[in-house]
A and B are shown apart, each in its own frame.
Chain A
Amino acid sequence: MSPAVAEGQLLILIPAFNEEGAIAGVVQAVRGVMPGVPILVVDDCSRDGTVALARGAGAQILALPHHLGLGGCVQAGYKLAFELGYDYVIRVDGDGQHDAHDIPRVFETLRTSGCEMVIGSRYLDGNGGGTSPVRTAGIQFFRMVLRPILGKTVRDPTSGFVGVNRSALEVFGRSFPLEYPEIEALVVLQRRRFRFVEVACHMLPRRTGRSSITPMKSIYYIVHVLLGVFVNVLKYERRAPKQTRRV
């Protein structure tokens, strides 16, 4: 059941790059679960029919003039959402892996928990099936790395199913990792003493295409993200005062 959403309160953000096989279905599924909530597809300069299909399915389009990669693509959407005055943005991947039926739970948690970020986690209810062994090992490794930095365990640090509030939107509009942004984004938030919480979500099989992180790219991914995490930890930024409340 979809929760009541005031106009201009929530935006669904879908970054997409060559997702013509899935994008229309994703937009329709979101519209079915969250009727009346605007959907913004941020097109990262696709060479296929992604834009036309997304528009035809009822989404608004933010078309980047050239390919920026996932981080630049998501950040563009965050910037626009902040400009338009949205209080909350929920990001759903364009490949159909995220179940639209989980959006209301993410939104409700975002609204009521007081956390700046809500992560849709495939591991909270034991539903981690379908993840490759390489990726599972990577996730476990990053759980270990992030635990002392974040001060709590994040079960699914690579999840792209993420909801953020306006405070996080403002921060991400100024500073957002460009490649493989999910893990580094957690550290960016931690530097601001922002809080996050995970909610159990169901992952569906990819409707089309393949993951951009192939086994060969996994090593590059790990090195790149590790470096990004530590750069963010060391980065000089005026930190927000420590809050006593923790979730």
Chain B
Amino acid sequence: MDRLLNAMTGLSVLLIVMVLVSVRRARIRVEYSVAWLAGAAALLVFSRARGLLRTVADLLGVTYPPLALVLLAGSVFLLIFYRFSLIISQLKDDNIALAQRVAILEYHLQMLKDHAAGY
């Protein structure tokens, strides 16, 4: 049990460091780092606070507390993935609309140029 919880602690610390370094290097925008940092912090707290983890495991009806931690972590990261799917879909829609608008504006510009050139 200790080994698994220690591994979870290590993983959460690694995740926090990676996200902070990426934010510092402007590879992740601050607003998108919050979900990762919150998830990793929750993982860190639960992997260190045994009493809290045992309470959560009892609430979930899980006899082996580290399994509760894995379930919690999985749920948190699923929610994060879902949120990012929403963001990516919105970005794709915006990107398509922008590309179409650019093409249409270029078309109008070309028409104006042709008109000015006397075609």
* Contact, CB under 8 Å: A72 / B100: yes
A83 contacts the other chain (CB 8 A): yes
Residues of A within 8 A of B107 (CB): 60-63, 80
Residue from B100, B102, B106, B110 within 8 A of A75 (CB atoms): B100
Residues of A within 8 A of B110 (CB): 61
Q: Is the interface of A mostly helix, strand, loop or mixed?
A: mixed
- A66 and B103 CA atoms in complex are apart in Å by 10
B18 contacts the other chain (CB 8 A): no
Residues of B within 8 A of A79 (CB): 100, 104
* Contact, CB under 8 Å: A65 / B104: no
Number of interface residues of B (CB under 8 A): 9
Residues in chain B within 8 A of chain A (CB atoms): 96, 99-100, 102-104, 106-107, 110
Residues of B within 8 A of A83 (CB): 104
Residues in chain A within 8 A of chain B (CB atoms): 42, 60-66, 68, 72, 75-76, 79-80, 83, 178
- A54 and B99 CA atoms in complex are apart in Å by 21
* Contact, CB under 8 Å: A68 / B99: yes
Residues of A within 8 A of B103 (CB): 42, 62-65, 76
- Known contacts A60-B107, A80-B107, A65 near B102 by CB under 8 Å: yes
- A66 and B95 CA atoms in complex are apart in Å by 10
* Contact, CB under 8 Å: B99 / A66: yes
* Contact, CB under 8 Å: A76 / B106: no
- A111 and B106 CA atoms in complex are apart in Å by 31
Q: How far is the CB of A156 from the nearest CB of chain B, in Å?
A: 27
Top 4 closest pairs, chain A to chain B, by CB: A76-B100, A64-B103, A72-B96, A62-B107
* Contact, CB under 8 Å: B96 / A68: yes
A-B contact pairs, 22 of them (CB 8 A): A42-B103, A60-B107, A61-B110, A62-B103, A63-B103, A63-B106, A64-B99, A65-B102, A65-B103, A68-B96, A68-B100, A72-B99, A72-B100, A75-B96, A75-B100, A76-B99, A76-B100, A76-B103, A79-B100, A80-B104, A80-B107, A178-B96
